[in-house]
Amino acid sequence: MVKLHIEDATKALNALRSLQDYTPPFEIVGNYRLIDDGDSPEATIILRANGNEMHEASTGVGPVDALAKVLKKSLTPLFPELEQVRLIDFSSRIFDPHSGTEARVEVQITFSNGKEIWRVQAFSENINKASFLALVDGFEYAILISRGEK
């Protein structure tokens, strides 16, 4: 039987971000833009990394897929190690079901680079925003582990 270890990347990132000398490998400029017509969602972002600013767009089979693809498309030229990163699980749950469509949502995404597995989570009243925050954390953690900085 194979013993499986899934790293809590959210906890690791929160600890790293509490350090005065931590600098993330990239930053999102502004916010994402998402157009979802129900058939072909499109996501757009601007990010800054290594002194470069990139503005990219991508489509996906759903809003989370579009957000994941635009992040990966933007970051991979600067961080080629992200080519190996895959999303292997996605889940969400609603807090306070009595709040209906205004309820806070937790999103959990599990990633793998073929060697390691890590999970991130994020919260928001907007499931797309929670998904985006989790995706950003997942890719940031991927860069850190590829550099041996976890």
Q: What is the CATH number of the domain that holds 69?
A: 3.30.160.270
User: What does the alpha-carbon distance between residue 100 and residue 66 come to, in Å, rounded to a whole number?
Assistant: 26
Minimal CA–CA distance to 116: which of 1, 15, 17, 8?
A: 8
Q: What percent of the chain has pLDDT over 70?
A: 99
How far is Cα of residue 30 from the mean position of the Cα atoms in its chain? 16
pLDDT, residue 103, reads: 82
Q: Is 72 within the bounds of a domain?
A: yes
Cα dihedral 70, 76, 81, 84, rounded to 10, equals: 40
Task: Write out the residue range of the structural domain in which residue 64 sits.
Answer: 7-17+25-146
User: What does the alpha-carbon distance between residue 93 and residue 8 come to, in Å, rounded to a whole number?
Assistant: 18
Q: Is 57 within the bounds of a domain?
A: yes
Q: Is 92 within the bounds of a domain?
A: yes
CA–CA distances in Å: residue 4 to residues 95, 116, 118:
28, 10, 11
pLDDT, residue 144, reads: 96
Q: Is 82 within the bounds of a domain?
A: yes
Q: Is 1 within the bounds of a domain?
A: no
Q: Is 2 within the bounds of a domain?
A: no
pLDDT, residue 45, reads: 97
Q: What predicted TM-score, i.e. pTM, was given to this entire model?
A: 0.93
Q: How many domains does the chain have?
A: 1
What number is the average pLDDT over the span 97-104? 79
Written in H, E and C, the secondary structure of 59-116 is ECCCHHHHHHHHHHHHHCCCCHHHHHCEEEEEEEEECCHHHHHHCCEEEEEEEECCCC
pLDDT, residue 18, reads: 96
pLDDT, residue 150, reads: 56
Residue 129 in 3-state DSSP?
helix
Written in H, E and C, the secondary structure of 27-65 is EECCCCEEECCCCCCEEEEEEEECCEEEEEEEECCCHHH
Sequence-separated (6 or more) residues with CB below 8 Å from residue 82: 72, 75, 76, 139, 142, 143
For residue range 119-129, list pLDDT tens digits in order. Answer: 999 999 999 99
Statement: residue 86 has pLDDT above 60: yes
